[in-house]
């Protein structure tokens, strides 16, 4: 009986060490994946984002992203958008607008946001050049950013193009970003 007591104690100690090691590994992987920050890439972008008014008047091209915290595609695209924002820092503004924040209701109406993620693309003088609907890879975002910064034509990607108003028959109540219709 005395031989089995130390062995079960050792087993408990081993389990605790294994649990602590697993937790440390999980935290390390999370920090490495998020660039050393505990915040998600989407939260980092939103926190660092200028207001749309400042971004559209400071002489830099702007990507205005309409998103929501619950949007899976928005969260999946955030690391690529963060990379592009960091790579072009000082030459391009990336602005995030959360459609669930009532503060931005006027912008979602003004820019006819009908789904997310929606990227509205602006030249350095604040003129809207087009928009992009749906998720984008880092290469696609980089192509869009380079076109905006060089004032060249937007890349020919599905879902990227000039904006156009909704047809008169479309009801604003049935085509909002939260309608999923």
Same domain, 45 and 22: no
Is 170 part of any domain?
Answer: no
* Separation between Cα atoms, residue 119 and residue 64, nearest integer Å: 5
Same domain, 12 and 97: no
| Chain mean pLDDT for the chain | 83
- Contact yes or no for 99/177 (Cβ under 8 A): yes
Same domain, 28 and 59: no
Is 134 part of any domain?
Answer: yes
Is 178 part of any domain?
Answer: no
Same domain, 125 and 145: yes
| Domain count along the chain | 2
Is 181 part of any domain?
Answer: no
H or E element that contains 33: helix 4-33
Same domain, 22 and 93: no
Same domain, 104 and 149: yes
Is 173 part of any domain?
Answer: no
pLDDT of residue 174: 47
- Contact yes or no for 131/163 (Cβ under 8 A): yes
Is residue 168 scored above 50 in pLDDT? no
- pLDDT digits over 67-85, tens only? 999 999 999 999 999 999 9
pLDDT band at residue 167 using 50, 70 and 90 as cut-offs: very low
The structure's pTM equals 0.68
- Contact yes or no for 93/62 (Cβ under 8 A): yes
Percentage, residues of the chain above pLDDT 90? 56
pLDDT of residue 48: 87
Is 93 part of any domain?
Answer: yes
Residue with tokens 């559209």: 56
Same domain, 29 and 73: no
Same domain, 3 and 80: no
Same domain, 112 and 24: no
pLDDT band at residue 166 using 50, 70 and 90 as cut-offs: very low
pLDDT band at residue 127 using 50, 70 and 90 as cut-offs: very high
pLDDT band at residue 112 using 50, 70 and 90 as cut-offs: very high
Angle (CA) 29 89 130, round 5°? 105
pLDDT of residue 161: 67
pLDDT of residue 180: 46
Lowest mean pLDDT among 34-48, 74-88, 166-180: 166-180
Same domain, 152 and 112: yes
Is 141 part of any domain?
Answer: yes
The residue segments making up the domain with residue 29 are 1-33
Higher pLDDT, 52 or 46: 52
Is 122 part of any domain?
Answer: yes
Same domain, 8 and 57: no
Higher pLDDT, 34 or 102: 102
Q: What is the CATH number of the domain that holds 84?
A: 3.40.30.10
Same domain, 21 and 72: no
């Amino acid at each position: 009986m005395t031989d089995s007591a130390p062995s079960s104690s050792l087993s408990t100690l081993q389990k605790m060490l294994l649990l602590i090691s697993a937790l440390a590994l999980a935290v390390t992987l999370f920090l490495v994946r998020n660039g050393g920050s505990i915040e998600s890439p989407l939260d980092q972008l939103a926190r660092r984002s200028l207001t749309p008014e400042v971004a559209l008047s400071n002489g830099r091209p702007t990507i205005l992203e309409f998103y929501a915290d619950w949007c899976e595609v928005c969260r999946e695209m955030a690391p690529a958008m963060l990379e592009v924002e960091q790579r072009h820092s000082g030459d391009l503004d990336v602005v995030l607008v959360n459609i669930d924040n009532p503060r931005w209701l006027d912008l979602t109406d003004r820019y006819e946001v009908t789904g997310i993620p929606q990227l509205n693309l602006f030249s350095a003088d604040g003129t809207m050049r087009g928009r992009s609907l749906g998720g984008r890879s880092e290469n696609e975002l980089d192509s869009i950013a380079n076109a905006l910064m060089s004032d060249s034509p937007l890349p020919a990607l599905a879902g990227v193009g000039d904006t156009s108003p909704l047809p008169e028959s479309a009801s604003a109540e049935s085509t909002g970003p939260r309608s999923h219709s």
